[in-house]
Structure 1
Amino acid sequence: MFSKNHMVLNTGDWIKAESREGELIIGYIESQSSIEGVVKVTVVTSDNNQTIGKTIPILSNRVKKLPVSNVTNKAQIEFLLDLALSTGDKEWFLALSSELNAMKQLANGVH
Protein backbone atom coordinates (compact mmCIF):
# COMPACT_ATOMS: atom_id res chain seq x y z
CA MET A 1 0.00 0.00 0.00
CA PHE A 2 1.25 3.49 -0.80
CA SER A 3 1.17 6.52 1.49
CA LYS A 4 0.97 10.17 0.47
CA ASN A 5 4.75 10.28 0.06
CA HIS A 6 4.46 7.28 -2.32
CA MET A 7 6.47 4.91 -0.14
CA VAL A 8 5.29 1.34 0.29
CA LEU A 9 3.76 0.84 3.73
CA ASN A 10 4.28 -2.44 5.56
CA THR A 11 3.02 -3.87 8.82
CA GLY A 12 5.44 -2.78 11.56
CA ASP A 13 6.53 0.45 9.83
CA TRP A 14 6.80 3.52 12.03
CA ILE A 15 4.65 6.33 10.71
CA LYS A 16 3.61 9.91 11.27
CA ALA A 17 0.04 10.88 10.44
CA GLU A 18 -2.57 13.53 10.88
CA SER A 19 -5.99 12.55 12.16
CA ARG A 20 -9.20 13.90 10.64
CA GLU A 21 -9.24 16.38 13.53
CA GLY A 22 -5.71 17.57 12.65
CA GLU A 23 -3.94 15.86 15.55
CA LEU A 24 -0.38 14.60 15.11
CA ILE A 25 -0.03 10.83 15.51
CA ILE A 26 3.18 8.83 15.71
CA GLY A 27 2.98 5.06 15.88
CA TYR A 28 3.42 1.86 13.96
CA ILE A 29 1.26 -0.04 11.49
CA GLU A 30 -0.50 -2.96 13.12
CA SER A 31 -2.36 -4.08 9.98
CA GLN A 32 -3.60 -2.73 6.65
CA SER A 33 -6.38 -3.13 4.13
CA SER A 34 -5.47 -2.40 0.51
CA ILE A 35 -9.13 -2.63 -0.51
CA GLU A 36 -10.24 0.14 1.85
CA GLY A 37 -6.99 2.16 1.72
CA VAL A 38 -6.81 2.08 5.52
CA VAL A 39 -4.00 1.22 7.91
CA LYS A 40 -4.55 0.36 11.56
CA VAL A 41 -1.98 2.23 13.62
CA THR A 42 -1.01 1.63 17.23
CA VAL A 43 -0.53 5.14 18.60
CA VAL A 44 2.65 5.69 20.63
CA THR A 45 2.39 9.46 20.90
CA SER A 46 -0.24 11.99 19.87
CA ASP A 47 -1.62 15.45 20.49
CA ASN A 48 -4.70 13.60 21.78
CA ASN A 49 -3.66 11.71 24.93
CA GLN A 50 -6.82 9.58 24.77
CA THR A 51 -5.56 7.77 21.65
CA ILE A 52 -2.12 6.84 23.06
CA GLY A 53 -1.80 3.07 23.32
CA LYS A 54 -4.88 2.44 21.15
CA THR A 55 -5.01 1.00 17.64
CA ILE A 56 -6.94 3.29 15.32
CA PRO A 57 -7.77 3.25 11.59
CA ILE A 58 -6.20 5.97 9.44
CA LEU A 59 -6.54 6.53 5.71
CA SER A 60 -3.25 5.59 4.09
CA ASN A 61 -3.11 8.91 2.22
CA ARG A 62 -2.78 10.65 5.63
CA VAL A 63 0.24 8.52 6.60
CA LYS A 64 3.93 9.26 6.10
CA LYS A 65 6.47 6.51 6.68
CA LEU A 66 9.23 7.56 9.09
CA PRO A 67 12.81 6.90 8.05
CA VAL A 68 14.64 4.08 9.80
CA SER A 69 17.16 5.54 12.20
CA ASN A 70 20.41 3.98 13.25
CA VAL A 71 20.95 3.85 16.99
CA THR A 72 24.36 5.19 17.88
CA ASN A 73 24.60 5.45 21.64
CA LYS A 74 23.59 3.84 24.92
CA ALA A 75 20.97 6.49 25.80
CA GLN A 76 19.15 5.93 22.50
CA ILE A 77 19.10 2.16 23.00
CA GLU A 78 17.80 2.57 26.56
CA PHE A 79 15.03 4.86 25.32
CA LEU A 80 14.10 2.35 22.62
CA LEU A 81 14.15 -0.47 25.20
CA ASP A 82 11.55 1.45 27.21
CA LEU A 83 9.51 1.95 24.05
CA ALA A 84 9.73 -1.75 23.19
CA LEU A 85 8.52 -2.60 26.69
CA SER A 86 5.63 -0.16 26.52
CA THR A 87 4.52 -1.50 23.14
CA GLY A 88 4.97 -5.14 24.18
CA ASP A 89 7.36 -5.90 21.30
CA LYS A 90 9.38 -8.80 22.75
CA GLU A 91 11.40 -9.46 19.58
CA TRP A 92 12.49 -5.82 19.32
CA PHE A 93 13.27 -5.71 23.06
CA LEU A 94 15.51 -8.77 22.78
CA ALA A 95 17.30 -7.36 19.73
CA LEU A 96 17.91 -4.05 21.50
CA SER A 97 19.08 -5.84 24.67
CA SER A 98 21.57 -7.81 22.60
CA GLU A 99 22.82 -4.62 20.97
CA LEU A 100 23.20 -2.91 24.37
CA ASN A 101 25.10 -5.90 25.76
CA ALA A 102 27.44 -5.91 22.75
CA MET A 103 28.05 -2.20 23.27
CA LYS A 104 28.86 -2.77 26.96
CA GLN A 105 31.27 -5.61 26.12
CA LEU A 106 33.01 -3.44 23.56
CA ALA A 107 33.35 -0.61 26.11
CA ASN A 108 34.74 -3.02 28.73
CA GLY A 109 37.30 -4.31 26.22
CA VAL A 110 38.62 -0.77 25.66
CA HIS A 111 39.70 -0.28 29.28
Structure 2
Amino acid sequence: MFSNNNTILKTGDWIKAESLEGELIIGYIESLSSIEGIVKVRVVTSDNNQAIGKTIPFLSKRVKKLPVSNVTNKSQIEFLLDLALSTGDKEWFLALSAELNAMKQLVNGVH
Protein backbone atom coordinates (compact mmCIF):
# COMPACT_ATOMS: atom_id res chain seq x y z
CA MET A 1 0.00 0.00 0.00
CA PHE A 2 1.35 3.44 -0.86
CA SER A 3 0.25 6.95 -1.60
CA ASN A 4 -0.38 8.46 -5.03
CA ASN A 5 -1.33 12.16 -5.17
CA ASN A 6 -2.93 12.02 -1.69
CA THR A 7 -4.71 8.74 -2.55
CA ILE A 8 -3.78 5.47 -0.89
CA LEU A 9 -3.39 2.67 -3.44
CA LYS A 10 -3.65 -0.97 -2.43
CA THR A 11 -4.04 -4.38 -4.02
CA GLY A 12 -7.57 -4.84 -5.35
CA ASP A 13 -8.29 -1.15 -5.94
CA TRP A 14 -10.03 -0.33 -9.22
CA ILE A 15 -8.13 2.22 -11.29
CA LYS A 16 -8.16 3.95 -14.61
CA ALA A 17 -5.07 4.90 -16.54
CA GLU A 18 -3.85 5.85 -19.96
CA SER A 19 -1.34 3.62 -21.72
CA LEU A 20 1.74 5.09 -23.34
CA GLU A 21 -0.16 4.75 -26.65
CA GLY A 22 -3.03 6.86 -25.26
CA GLU A 23 -5.50 4.00 -24.73
CA LEU A 24 -7.90 4.07 -21.80
CA ILE A 25 -7.32 1.24 -19.32
CA ILE A 26 -9.71 0.25 -16.55
CA GLY A 27 -8.74 -2.55 -14.22
CA TYR A 28 -7.67 -3.46 -10.73
CA ILE A 29 -4.31 -3.52 -8.97
CA GLU A 30 -2.86 -7.03 -8.71
CA SER A 31 0.37 -6.02 -6.98
CA LEU A 32 2.42 -3.03 -5.87
CA SER A 33 6.14 -2.33 -5.79
CA SER A 34 6.72 0.59 -3.45
CA ILE A 35 10.48 0.51 -4.13
CA GLU A 36 9.98 1.15 -7.85
CA GLY A 37 6.65 3.01 -7.55
CA ILE A 38 5.02 0.54 -9.93
CA VAL A 39 1.54 -0.98 -9.82
CA LYS A 40 0.65 -4.04 -11.87
CA VAL A 41 -2.87 -3.68 -13.23
CA ARG A 42 -5.12 -6.48 -14.53
CA VAL A 43 -6.93 -4.92 -17.50
CA VAL A 44 -10.69 -5.50 -17.46
CA THR A 45 -11.65 -3.06 -20.22
CA SER A 46 -9.68 -0.97 -22.66
CA ASP A 47 -9.78 0.82 -26.00
CA ASN A 48 -7.30 -1.87 -27.06
CA ASN A 49 -9.10 -5.25 -26.98
CA GLN A 50 -5.74 -7.07 -27.04
CA ALA A 51 -4.89 -5.61 -23.61
CA ILE A 52 -8.00 -7.04 -21.93
CA GLY A 53 -7.12 -9.81 -19.48
CA LYS A 54 -3.44 -8.92 -19.42
CA THR A 55 -1.44 -7.52 -16.51
CA ILE A 56 0.30 -4.26 -17.36
CA PRO A 57 2.76 -2.32 -15.16
CA PHE A 58 2.18 1.42 -14.61
CA LEU A 59 3.99 4.05 -12.63
CA SER A 60 1.77 4.68 -9.61
CA LYS A 61 1.56 8.39 -10.44
CA ARG A 62 -0.03 7.52 -13.82
CA VAL A 63 -3.06 5.70 -12.38
CA LYS A 64 -6.19 7.18 -10.83
CA LYS A 65 -8.12 5.26 -8.19
CA LEU A 66 -11.78 4.91 -9.09
CA PRO A 67 -14.33 5.75 -6.40
CA VAL A 68 -16.03 2.90 -4.61
CA SER A 69 -19.58 2.67 -5.90
CA ASN A 70 -22.58 1.76 -3.83
CA VAL A 71 -24.62 -0.95 -5.51
CA THR A 72 -28.27 -0.05 -5.36
CA ASN A 73 -30.20 -2.44 -7.58
CA LYS A 74 -30.43 -6.02 -8.80
CA SER A 75 -29.06 -5.38 -12.29
CA GLN A 76 -25.94 -3.71 -10.87
CA ILE A 77 -25.30 -6.68 -8.59
CA GLU A 78 -25.82 -9.11 -11.48
CA PHE A 79 -23.32 -7.16 -13.60
CA LEU A 80 -20.79 -7.22 -10.76
CA LEU A 81 -21.40 -10.96 -10.28
CA ASP A 82 -20.42 -11.50 -13.92
CA LEU A 83 -17.35 -9.35 -13.40
CA ALA A 84 -16.38 -11.28 -10.26
CA LEU A 85 -16.70 -14.53 -12.23
CA SER A 86 -14.62 -13.25 -15.13
CA THR A 87 -11.87 -12.04 -12.79
CA GLY A 88 -11.95 -15.22 -10.68
CA ASP A 89 -12.61 -13.33 -7.43
CA LYS A 90 -14.41 -15.97 -5.36
CA GLU A 91 -14.64 -13.87 -2.18
CA TRP A 92 -16.23 -10.94 -4.03
CA PHE A 93 -18.59 -13.30 -5.88
CA LEU A 94 -19.77 -14.85 -2.62
CA ALA A 95 -20.29 -11.43 -1.01
CA LEU A 96 -22.30 -10.22 -4.01
CA SER A 97 -24.33 -13.45 -4.06
CA ALA A 98 -25.22 -12.96 -0.39
CA GLU A 99 -26.22 -9.36 -1.11
CA LEU A 100 -28.42 -10.45 -4.04
CA ASN A 101 -30.05 -13.18 -1.94
CA ALA A 102 -30.75 -10.69 0.87
CA MET A 103 -32.32 -8.34 -1.67
CA LYS A 104 -34.52 -11.17 -3.03
CA GLN A 105 -35.63 -12.13 0.50
CA LEU A 106 -36.51 -8.51 1.25
CA VAL A 107 -38.60 -8.29 -1.94
CA ASN A 108 -40.32 -11.61 -1.19
CA GLY A 109 -41.10 -10.42 2.34
CA VAL A 110 -42.87 -7.32 0.98
CA HIS A 111 -45.32 -9.31 -1.17
* Length-normalised TM-score, structure 2: 0.96
Amino acid at match of 1:91: E
More contact order relative to length (CA 8 Å, sep ≥ 6): 1
- Structure with the larger strand share: 2
8 A Cα contact 1:2 1:61, kept in partner: no
8 A Cα contact 1:7 1:65, kept in partner: yes
The runs of at least 4 consecutive aligned structure 1 residues that moved more than 4 Å come to: none
Listed as ranges, the matches of 1:26-37 within 5 Å are 26-37=26-37
Amino acid at match of 1:2: S
> Alignment RMSD, CA only?
0.7
Amino acid at match of 2:78: E
Q: Separation in 2 of the partners of 1:47 and 1:9?
A: 24
Q: Separation in 1 of the partners of 2:22 and 2:6?
A: 21
Deviations 1:43-70 (A, max 9, x none): 0000111110111101111100000000
* Length-normalised TM-score, structure 1: 0.96
Tell me the residue number matched to 2:16: 16
Q: Separation in 1 of the partners of 2:100 and 2:49?
A: 31
Q: Cα offset for 1:21? A: 1.0
Q: Give the percent of matched residue pairs that are identical in Structure 1 and Structure 2.
A: 85
Structure 1, unmatched stretches of 5+, are none
Q: How many pairs align?
A: 110
Q: Separation in 2 of the partners of 1:15 and 1:99?
A: 24
